[in-house]
Amino acid sequence: MENYQKMKKWFYNGNELEIVDTFNYLGLILNYNGTFLKTQKHVADQGRKALFSVLRVCNGNFFNIETKLSVFDTYVGSILSYGSEIWGFHKAADVKKVQSNFCKRILGVRQTTMHSMIYFELGRFPLYVIRRIRIFKYWTKLLNTDNKILKCCLQDQEANKSKWIINVRNELFQMGLGYIWEHRKSCNSSYFKTIKHRILDIFKQLCIERICNSSKGLFYQHFISNFTLQYYLAKSIPYRYANCISKIRLSAHNLFIETGRYNSVAKNKRLCKFCDNDDVEDEYHFVLICKKYKDIRCKYIKPYYRINPSVYTFIQLLTVHNIKELTNLGKYLSITFESRNKLRQI
Protein backbone atom coordinates (compact mmCIF):
# COMPACT_ATOMS: atom_id res chain seq x y z
CA MET A 1 0.00 0.00 0.00
CA GLU A 2 2.91 2.37 0.75
CA ASN A 3 4.34 1.93 -2.78
CA TYR A 4 0.92 2.64 -4.25
CA GLN A 5 0.66 5.83 -2.21
CA LYS A 6 4.00 7.00 -3.60
CA MET A 7 3.04 6.24 -7.20
CA LYS A 8 -0.52 7.62 -7.31
CA LYS A 9 -1.96 10.98 -6.38
CA TRP A 10 -5.60 11.94 -6.65
CA PHE A 11 -7.05 15.45 -6.69
CA TYR A 12 -10.52 16.90 -6.30
CA ASN A 13 -11.13 20.62 -6.93
CA GLY A 14 -7.40 21.15 -6.73
CA ASN A 15 -7.08 19.43 -3.35
CA GLU A 16 -5.01 16.26 -2.97
CA LEU A 17 -7.01 13.33 -1.61
CA GLU A 18 -5.56 11.17 1.12
CA ILE A 19 -4.98 7.52 0.22
CA VAL A 20 -5.91 5.24 3.12
CA ASP A 21 -5.90 1.49 3.83
CA THR A 22 -9.48 1.41 5.08
CA PHE A 23 -12.52 3.62 4.76
CA ASN A 24 -15.73 3.68 6.78
CA TYR A 25 -18.63 3.99 4.35
CA LEU A 26 -22.10 4.09 5.91
CA GLY A 27 -20.86 2.05 8.88
CA LEU A 28 -19.01 -0.57 6.81
CA ILE A 29 -15.21 -0.81 6.88
CA LEU A 30 -13.96 -1.14 3.29
CA ASN A 31 -10.38 -2.36 2.84
CA TYR A 32 -8.09 -1.37 -0.04
CA ASN A 33 -7.46 -5.02 -0.99
CA GLY A 34 -11.16 -5.86 -1.32
CA THR A 35 -11.29 -8.35 1.59
CA PHE A 36 -13.78 -8.08 4.44
CA LEU A 37 -11.81 -9.37 7.43
CA LYS A 38 -11.75 -5.95 9.08
CA THR A 39 -15.38 -5.40 8.11
CA GLN A 40 -16.63 -8.46 10.01
CA LYS A 41 -14.36 -7.66 12.98
CA HIS A 42 -15.85 -4.17 13.17
CA VAL A 43 -19.41 -5.52 12.85
CA ALA A 44 -18.69 -8.14 15.54
CA ASP A 45 -17.34 -5.47 17.93
CA GLN A 46 -20.46 -3.37 17.45
CA GLY A 47 -22.69 -6.42 17.92
CA ARG A 48 -20.81 -7.43 21.09
CA LYS A 49 -21.39 -4.01 22.62
CA ALA A 50 -25.08 -4.21 21.79
CA LEU A 51 -25.23 -7.73 23.24
CA PHE A 52 -23.89 -6.60 26.62
CA SER A 53 -26.63 -3.96 26.82
CA VAL A 54 -29.29 -6.46 25.76
CA LEU A 55 -28.20 -9.03 28.36
CA ARG A 56 -28.27 -6.40 31.06
CA VAL A 57 -31.86 -5.49 30.18
CA CYS A 58 -32.96 -9.13 29.74
CA ASN A 59 -31.52 -10.27 33.06
CA GLY A 60 -32.98 -7.28 34.87
CA ASN A 61 -36.48 -7.97 33.53
CA PHE A 62 -36.39 -11.79 33.80
CA PHE A 63 -37.28 -12.34 30.13
CA ASN A 64 -37.96 -15.92 29.06
CA ILE A 65 -35.78 -17.57 26.43
CA GLU A 66 -38.20 -16.94 23.57
CA THR A 67 -38.24 -13.21 24.35
CA LYS A 68 -34.45 -13.11 24.68
CA LEU A 69 -34.08 -14.65 21.24
CA SER A 70 -36.49 -12.12 19.77
CA VAL A 71 -34.62 -9.22 21.42
CA PHE A 72 -31.31 -10.60 20.10
CA ASP A 73 -32.66 -10.73 16.54
CA THR A 74 -33.97 -7.17 16.76
CA TYR A 75 -31.08 -5.38 18.47
CA VAL A 76 -28.00 -7.55 17.92
CA GLY A 77 -28.68 -9.76 14.90
CA SER A 78 -29.53 -6.72 12.79
CA ILE A 79 -26.14 -5.19 13.64
CA LEU A 80 -24.22 -8.43 12.99
CA SER A 81 -25.87 -8.75 9.56
CA TYR A 82 -25.55 -5.08 8.61
CA GLY A 83 -24.49 -4.74 4.98
CA SER A 84 -24.00 -8.51 4.70
CA GLU A 85 -25.45 -8.44 1.18
CA ILE A 86 -21.98 -7.18 0.20
CA TRP A 87 -19.59 -8.95 2.58
CA GLY A 88 -21.73 -11.98 3.52
CA PHE A 89 -19.64 -14.60 1.70
CA HIS A 90 -16.88 -14.08 4.28
CA LYS A 91 -16.74 -16.80 6.97
CA ALA A 92 -16.93 -14.09 9.66
CA ALA A 93 -15.60 -16.15 12.59
CA ASP A 94 -15.85 -13.18 14.97
CA VAL A 95 -19.52 -12.65 14.13
CA LYS A 96 -20.21 -16.36 14.65
CA LYS A 97 -18.68 -16.20 18.15
CA VAL A 98 -21.06 -13.45 19.23
CA GLN A 99 -24.14 -15.46 18.25
CA SER A 100 -22.90 -18.83 19.55
CA ASN A 101 -21.80 -17.35 22.89
CA PHE A 102 -25.24 -15.81 23.32
CA CYS A 103 -27.08 -19.04 22.48
CA LYS A 104 -24.95 -21.12 24.84
CA ARG A 105 -25.25 -18.51 27.56
CA ILE A 106 -29.05 -18.47 27.61
CA LEU A 107 -29.11 -22.29 27.65
CA GLY A 108 -26.61 -22.33 30.51
CA VAL A 109 -24.27 -24.81 28.82
CA ARG A 110 -20.50 -24.77 28.38
CA GLN A 111 -18.85 -23.09 25.40
CA THR A 112 -17.54 -26.41 24.05
CA THR A 113 -21.07 -27.71 23.47
CA MET A 114 -21.60 -28.75 19.87
CA HIS A 115 -22.96 -25.91 17.72
CA SER A 116 -25.29 -28.10 15.68
CA MET A 117 -27.07 -29.31 18.83
CA ILE A 118 -27.44 -25.73 20.06
CA TYR A 119 -29.04 -24.64 16.78
CA PHE A 120 -31.45 -27.59 16.85
CA GLU A 121 -32.37 -27.03 20.51
CA LEU A 122 -33.22 -23.39 19.90
CA GLY A 123 -34.53 -23.78 16.37
CA ARG A 124 -32.05 -21.14 15.26
CA PHE A 125 -30.16 -20.68 12.03
CA PRO A 126 -26.57 -19.42 12.27
CA LEU A 127 -25.94 -15.96 10.90
CA TYR A 128 -24.00 -17.26 7.90
CA VAL A 129 -27.26 -18.87 6.70
CA ILE A 130 -29.10 -15.58 7.19
CA ARG A 131 -26.35 -13.79 5.26
CA ARG A 132 -26.68 -16.20 2.33
CA ILE A 133 -30.41 -15.59 2.18
CA ARG A 134 -29.91 -11.82 2.23
CA ILE A 135 -27.32 -12.03 -0.53
CA PHE A 136 -29.62 -13.94 -2.87
CA LYS A 137 -32.54 -11.70 -2.03
CA TYR A 138 -30.37 -8.73 -2.98
CA TRP A 139 -29.19 -10.45 -6.16
CA THR A 140 -32.74 -11.26 -7.33
CA LYS A 141 -33.73 -7.67 -6.51
CA LEU A 142 -30.91 -6.39 -8.72
CA LEU A 143 -32.02 -8.67 -11.55
CA ASN A 144 -35.53 -7.21 -11.45
CA THR A 145 -34.72 -3.57 -10.69
CA ASP A 146 -35.68 -0.74 -13.02
CA ASN A 147 -32.82 1.39 -11.72
CA LYS A 148 -30.44 1.83 -14.64
CA ILE A 149 -27.44 2.56 -12.42
CA LEU A 150 -27.91 -0.66 -10.44
CA LYS A 151 -28.44 -2.64 -13.64
CA CYS A 152 -25.20 -1.25 -15.09
CA CYS A 153 -23.36 -2.13 -11.87
CA LEU A 154 -24.62 -5.71 -12.00
CA GLN A 155 -23.70 -6.04 -15.67
CA ASP A 156 -20.25 -4.67 -14.89
CA GLN A 157 -19.87 -7.25 -12.09
CA GLU A 158 -20.74 -10.06 -14.48
CA ALA A 159 -18.53 -8.74 -17.28
CA ASN A 160 -15.51 -8.44 -14.97
CA LYS A 161 -16.30 -11.69 -13.17
CA SER A 162 -16.10 -10.11 -9.75
CA LYS A 163 -15.56 -12.35 -6.74
CA TRP A 164 -19.05 -11.57 -5.43
CA ILE A 165 -20.84 -12.58 -8.62
CA ILE A 166 -18.67 -15.71 -8.98
CA ASN A 167 -19.63 -16.71 -5.45
CA VAL A 168 -23.31 -16.24 -6.30
CA ARG A 169 -22.94 -18.48 -9.35
CA ASN A 170 -20.92 -21.14 -7.54
CA GLU A 171 -23.33 -21.28 -4.60
CA LEU A 172 -26.29 -21.83 -6.93
CA PHE A 173 -24.57 -24.71 -8.73
CA GLN A 174 -23.43 -26.27 -5.43
CA MET A 175 -27.04 -26.23 -4.21
CA GLY A 176 -28.21 -27.92 -7.41
CA LEU A 177 -29.89 -24.73 -8.61
CA GLY A 178 -27.65 -23.98 -11.57
CA TYR A 179 -30.68 -23.58 -13.81
CA ILE A 180 -31.57 -20.40 -11.94
CA TRP A 181 -28.23 -18.91 -12.90
CA GLU A 182 -28.64 -20.01 -16.51
CA HIS A 183 -32.10 -18.42 -16.68
CA ARG A 184 -31.37 -15.40 -14.46
CA LYS A 185 -32.61 -12.93 -17.06
CA SER A 186 -36.12 -14.30 -16.58
CA CYS A 187 -35.78 -14.40 -12.80
CA ASN A 188 -38.96 -13.92 -10.74
CA SER A 189 -39.96 -13.98 -7.06
CA SER A 190 -40.47 -17.76 -7.07
CA TYR A 191 -36.75 -18.22 -7.74
CA PHE A 192 -35.81 -16.53 -4.47
CA LYS A 193 -38.29 -18.67 -2.53
CA THR A 194 -36.73 -21.78 -4.04
CA ILE A 195 -33.21 -20.60 -3.15
CA LYS A 196 -34.22 -19.72 0.42
CA HIS A 197 -35.87 -23.10 1.05
CA ARG A 198 -32.86 -24.91 -0.38
CA ILE A 199 -30.41 -22.98 1.85
CA LEU A 200 -32.46 -23.78 4.97
CA ASP A 201 -32.94 -27.45 4.03
CA ILE A 202 -29.23 -27.94 3.36
CA PHE A 203 -28.35 -26.48 6.75
CA LYS A 204 -30.83 -28.71 8.58
CA GLN A 205 -29.50 -31.79 6.80
CA LEU A 206 -25.93 -30.77 7.59
CA CYS A 207 -26.86 -30.32 11.26
CA ILE A 208 -28.40 -33.78 11.48
CA GLU A 209 -25.41 -35.33 9.73
CA ARG A 210 -22.94 -33.68 12.12
CA ILE A 211 -24.92 -34.73 15.19
CA CYS A 212 -25.30 -38.33 14.04
CA ASN A 213 -21.63 -38.64 13.09
CA SER A 214 -20.27 -37.13 16.32
CA SER A 215 -19.60 -39.08 19.50
CA LYS A 216 -20.98 -36.10 21.43
CA GLY A 217 -24.26 -36.38 19.52
CA LEU A 218 -24.97 -40.06 20.23
CA PHE A 219 -27.44 -39.16 22.97
CA TYR A 220 -28.91 -36.01 21.41
CA GLN A 221 -29.79 -37.68 18.10
CA HIS A 222 -32.74 -39.30 19.91
CA PHE A 223 -34.30 -35.83 20.24
CA ILE A 224 -34.00 -34.79 16.61
CA SER A 225 -37.49 -34.14 15.28
CA ASN A 226 -38.72 -30.68 14.37
CA PHE A 227 -36.25 -27.85 13.89
CA THR A 228 -37.89 -25.44 16.33
CA LEU A 229 -37.55 -23.98 19.81
CA GLN A 230 -37.98 -27.00 22.06
CA TYR A 231 -41.15 -27.28 24.13
CA TYR A 232 -39.53 -26.97 27.56
CA LEU A 233 -37.79 -23.75 26.48
CA ALA A 234 -40.94 -22.17 25.08
CA LYS A 235 -43.06 -22.76 28.20
CA SER A 236 -43.17 -21.07 31.59
CA ILE A 237 -40.66 -23.32 33.34
CA PRO A 238 -38.32 -21.60 35.83
CA TYR A 239 -35.12 -20.61 34.09
CA ARG A 240 -32.73 -22.58 36.33
CA TYR A 241 -34.78 -25.76 35.88
CA ALA A 242 -34.83 -25.33 32.10
CA ASN A 243 -31.03 -24.89 32.21
CA CYS A 244 -30.66 -28.21 34.04
CA ILE A 245 -32.76 -29.96 31.39
CA SER A 246 -30.63 -28.36 28.67
CA LYS A 247 -27.44 -29.66 30.29
CA ILE A 248 -28.76 -33.21 30.30
CA ARG A 249 -30.17 -33.10 26.75
CA LEU A 250 -27.03 -31.49 25.31
CA SER A 251 -24.56 -33.60 27.35
CA ALA A 252 -23.14 -30.38 28.80
CA HIS A 253 -22.81 -31.70 32.35
CA ASN A 254 -20.11 -33.09 34.63
CA LEU A 255 -21.22 -36.72 34.66
CA PHE A 256 -18.36 -39.16 34.21
CA ILE A 257 -19.58 -40.18 30.75
CA GLU A 258 -18.45 -36.69 29.65
CA THR A 259 -15.56 -35.84 31.97
CA GLY A 260 -14.04 -39.28 31.39
CA ARG A 261 -13.35 -38.45 27.76
CA TYR A 262 -11.08 -35.57 28.85
CA ASN A 263 -8.79 -38.08 30.60
CA SER A 264 -9.07 -40.67 27.79
CA VAL A 265 -10.95 -43.12 30.01
CA ALA A 266 -12.57 -45.91 27.99
CA LYS A 267 -16.31 -45.43 27.70
CA ASN A 268 -17.15 -48.71 29.44
CA LYS A 269 -14.87 -47.73 32.34
CA ARG A 270 -16.64 -44.46 33.15
CA LEU A 271 -18.54 -46.04 36.02
CA CYS A 272 -20.69 -44.28 38.62
CA LYS A 273 -18.75 -43.75 41.86
CA PHE A 274 -21.82 -43.09 43.99
CA CYS A 275 -23.59 -46.47 43.79
CA ASP A 276 -22.64 -50.13 43.51
CA ASN A 277 -24.45 -50.91 40.24
CA ASP A 278 -21.23 -50.91 38.19
CA ASP A 279 -23.08 -48.91 35.53
CA VAL A 280 -21.61 -46.23 33.30
CA GLU A 281 -22.53 -42.85 34.78
CA ASP A 282 -24.42 -41.53 31.80
CA GLU A 283 -27.59 -39.41 31.60
CA TYR A 284 -29.92 -42.41 31.77
CA HIS A 285 -28.22 -43.86 34.86
CA PHE A 286 -28.11 -40.47 36.60
CA VAL A 287 -31.80 -39.65 36.07
CA LEU A 288 -33.54 -43.03 36.43
CA ILE A 289 -31.19 -45.64 37.89
CA CYS A 290 -28.61 -44.41 40.44
CA LYS A 291 -29.53 -45.57 43.97
CA LYS A 292 -27.93 -42.49 45.52
CA TYR A 293 -30.81 -40.30 44.35
CA LYS A 294 -33.65 -42.80 44.88
CA ASP A 295 -35.53 -40.70 47.49
CA ILE A 296 -35.31 -37.53 45.39
CA ARG A 297 -36.40 -39.50 42.32
CA CYS A 298 -39.48 -40.87 44.10
CA LYS A 299 -40.46 -37.33 45.03
CA TYR A 300 -40.18 -35.71 41.60
CA ILE A 301 -40.30 -38.41 38.89
CA LYS A 302 -43.58 -40.20 38.06
CA PRO A 303 -43.71 -43.99 38.65
CA TYR A 304 -44.30 -44.54 34.92
CA TYR A 305 -40.71 -43.40 34.25
CA ARG A 306 -38.84 -44.73 37.31
CA ILE A 307 -40.47 -48.16 37.78
CA ASN A 308 -39.05 -50.60 35.24
CA PRO A 309 -37.17 -47.77 33.50
CA SER A 310 -35.87 -48.04 29.95
CA VAL A 311 -34.12 -45.79 27.47
CA TYR A 312 -37.45 -45.42 25.69
CA THR A 313 -39.23 -44.02 28.79
CA PHE A 314 -36.18 -41.85 29.49
CA ILE A 315 -36.46 -40.24 26.05
CA GLN A 316 -40.19 -39.80 26.67
CA LEU A 317 -39.44 -37.99 29.94
CA LEU A 318 -37.02 -35.57 28.30
CA THR A 319 -39.43 -34.81 25.44
CA VAL A 320 -42.73 -34.79 27.32
CA HIS A 321 -45.15 -31.92 26.61
CA ASN A 322 -46.31 -31.46 30.17
CA ILE A 323 -45.21 -28.38 32.10
CA LYS A 324 -45.64 -29.96 35.55
CA GLU A 325 -43.60 -33.04 34.65
CA LEU A 326 -40.88 -30.91 33.07
CA THR A 327 -40.75 -28.60 36.09
CA ASN A 328 -40.42 -31.59 38.41
CA LEU A 329 -37.69 -33.01 36.19
CA GLY A 330 -35.88 -29.67 36.41
CA LYS A 331 -36.20 -29.70 40.21
CA TYR A 332 -34.87 -33.25 40.37
CA LEU A 333 -31.87 -32.36 38.20
CA SER A 334 -31.16 -29.16 40.12
CA ILE A 335 -31.12 -30.97 43.47
CA THR A 336 -29.17 -34.01 42.25
CA PHE A 337 -26.57 -31.91 40.43
CA GLU A 338 -25.97 -29.97 43.64
CA SER A 339 -25.89 -33.16 45.73
CA ARG A 340 -23.41 -34.76 43.34
CA ASN A 341 -21.11 -31.74 43.43
CA LYS A 342 -21.05 -31.93 47.24
CA LEU A 343 -20.27 -35.66 47.14
CA ARG A 344 -17.36 -35.03 44.77
CA GLN A 345 -15.83 -32.56 47.22
CA ILE A 346 -15.85 -35.04 50.11
Does some domain include residue 134? no
**Statement to judge: residues 107 and 179 lie in one domain:** no
pLDDT of residue 133: 97
In whole angstroms, what is the distance from residue 245 CA to residue 249 CA?
6
Does some domain include residue 281? yes
pLDDT of residue 346: 67
More confident residue, 54 or 59: 54
CA proximity to 281, closest of 252, 303, 259: 259
pLDDT of residue 137: 95
In whole angstroms, what is the distance from residue 310 CA to residue 303 CA?
12
Residue 118 has pLDDT above 60, yes or no: yes
**Statement to judge: residues 43 and 21 lie in one domain:** yes
293-to-241, 289, 320, 340 alpha-carbon distances in Å: 17, 8, 22, 9
Q: What is the mean pLDDT of the chain?
A: 91
In whole angstroms, what is the distance from residue 334 CA to residue 59 CA?
20
**Statement to judge: residues 266 and 334 lie in one domain:** yes
Report the number of secondary-structure helices (H) and strands (E) in the chain: 20, 4
Residue 32 has pLDDT above 70, yes or no: yes
Residue 129 has pLDDT above 70, yes or no: yes
Does some domain include residue 129? no
DSSP string, 165-231: HHHHHHHHHHTT-HHHHHTGGG--HHHHHHHHHHHHHHHHHHHHHHHHHSGGGTTGGGG-S-SS--H
Residue 103's CB: how many other CB atoms inside 10 A? Answer: 22
- Which of 223, 242, 268 delimits the end of a domain? 223
Predicted confidence (pLDDT) per residue in 167-182, tens digit:
999 999 999 999 999 9
pLDDT of residue 49: 95
Range from 2-6, 46-50, 318-322 carrying the lowest mean pLDDT: 2-6
Confidence band for 2, pLDDT divided at 50, 70 and 90: low
**Statement to judge: residues 71 and 175 lie in one domain:** no
pLDDT of residue 232: 94
Residue 283 has pLDDT above 70, yes or no: yes
Q: Which residues pair with 15 in a beta bridge?
A: 12
For the chain, what is the radius of gyration of the CA atoms? 26
In whole angstroms, what is the distance from residue 251 CA to residue 258 CA?
7
- Which of 184, 207, 223 delimits the end of a domain? 223
Predicted confidence (pLDDT) per residue in 187-227, tens digit:
887 899 999 999 999 999 999 999 999 988 889 998 888 89
The whole-model pTM stands at: 0.89
Does some domain include residue 121? no
Task: Please count the structural domains in the chain.
Answer: 3
Does some domain include residue 135? no
Does some domain include residue 152? yes
pLDDT of residue 6: 55
- Which of 178, 195, 223 delimits the end of a domain? 223
**Statement to judge: residues 162 and 95 lie in one domain:** no
**Statement to judge: residues 235 and 319 lie in one domain:** yes
**Statement to judge: residues 238 and 337 lie in one domain:** yes
Does some domain include residue 169? yes
**Statement to judge: residues 26 and 107 lie in one domain:** yes
More confident residue, 338 or 7: 338
Confidence band for 122, pLDDT divided at 50, 70 and 90: very high
Question: Pseudo-torsion of CA 317, 321, 327, 333, nearest 10°?
Answer: 30
Share of the chain above pLDDT 90, in %: 71
pLDDT of residue 120: 94
In whole angstroms, what is the distance from residue 26 CA to residue 4 CA?
25
**Statement to judge: residues 181 and 235 lie in one domain:** no
* Mean pLDDT, residues 238-266: 91
Residue 64 has pLDDT above 80, yes or no: yes
Does some domain include residue 158? yes
71-to-63, 127, 233 alpha-carbon distances in Å: 10, 15, 16
Residue 250 has pLDDT above 60, yes or no: yes
**Statement to judge: residues 70 and 11 lie in one domain:** yes
Contact 17, 10 (CB under 8 A): yes
CA proximity to 203, closest of 294, 293, 125: 125
Q: Which residues pair with 280 in a beta bridge?
A: 271
**Statement to judge: residues 242 and 213 lie in one domain:** no
**Statement to judge: residues 179 and 268 lie in one domain:** no
Range of the domain at 9: 2-113
